[in-house]
Amino acid sequence: MSASLPLLSSLSGVLLLIFSVAVLTVLIERGRWWWLWRKRQGRRLGDWRDRLGRGPAELPGLELSLLDWEREMRWGESLLQAASILAPLIGLFGTVSGLMHVLRLLGPRLELPAGANLGAYGQVLLTTAVGLLVSLVATAGLLASQALRDWQIGRLRRDLADLSLARR
């Protein structure tokens, strides 16, 4: 049965495979990035204090650093967002095209051929299941990344405000 699925269904499978590899790659990279961020955090705040001690001209530079860090923290979020939206749709498209093929095989009376394995016909639902799984993982990773980013940027902004107030 699976060898006779139409091209559209196999194309959906290939697209879902590409999405799943891309999502896992982004999540692994983000995990590594956040791990390194956590390890460098104490050093970074000390650098901020040193720069603030040099004078008020350093404040715009620190704000620019903050914007650069926020941009780094956003890396990969657009791919995770696209995967969380498109993966279930691609999976559903694969299932619908597979079901159309199965219905053609069953004929006008929709009868199973003698000795047919019904489980093999159920494989057409696999692309929807995979699409939902890829979407779930991508959405969880996206929400975690956004939460970490918002938390850290808010924390850095508070630290920057505290340091500038302490300097006055």
pLDDT by residue for the chain (168 residues), tens only, comes to: 444 445 456 889 899 999 999 999 999 999 999 999 888 876 766 676 676 666 666 667 777 888 888 999 999 999 999 999 999 999 999 999 888 888 887 878 877 777 777 777 778 889 999 999 999 999 999 999 999 999 988 988 887 777 777 666
pLDDT of residue 55: 62
Residue with tokens 């279930």: 88
Domain that holds residue 68: 12-106+122-167
The amino acid sitting at 144 is A
Whether the Cβ atoms of residue 22 and residue 77 lie closer than 8 Å to each other: no
In this structure, is residue 153 part of a structural domain?
A: yes
What's the Cα-to-Cα distance from 72 to each of 23, 69, 165, rounded to whole Å?
17, 5, 27
In this structure, is residue 101 part of a structural domain?
A: yes
In this structure, is residue 116 part of a structural domain?
A: no
In this structure, is residue 5 part of a structural domain?
A: no
Three-state DSSP class for residue 111: coil
Count, residues in the chain: 168
In this structure, is residue 135 part of a structural domain?
A: yes
In this structure, is residue 114 part of a structural domain?
A: no
pLDDT of residue 103: 82
Give the C-alpha separation, 71 to 151, whole Å: 14
Give the C-alpha separation, 125 to 144, whole Å: 29
Backbone dihedral angles phi then psi of residue 57, each to the nearest 5 degrees: -65, -20
In this structure, is residue 86 part of a structural domain?
A: yes
Those residues with Cβ within 8 angstroms of residue 78's Cβ, 6 or more apart along the chain or in another chain:
none
In this structure, is residue 112 part of a structural domain?
A: no
Task: Please tell me the total count of domains within the chain.
Answer: 1
Record the tokens describing residue 132, joined without a space: 């939902």
Whether the Cβ atoms of residue 135 and residue 98 lie closer than 8 Å to each other: no
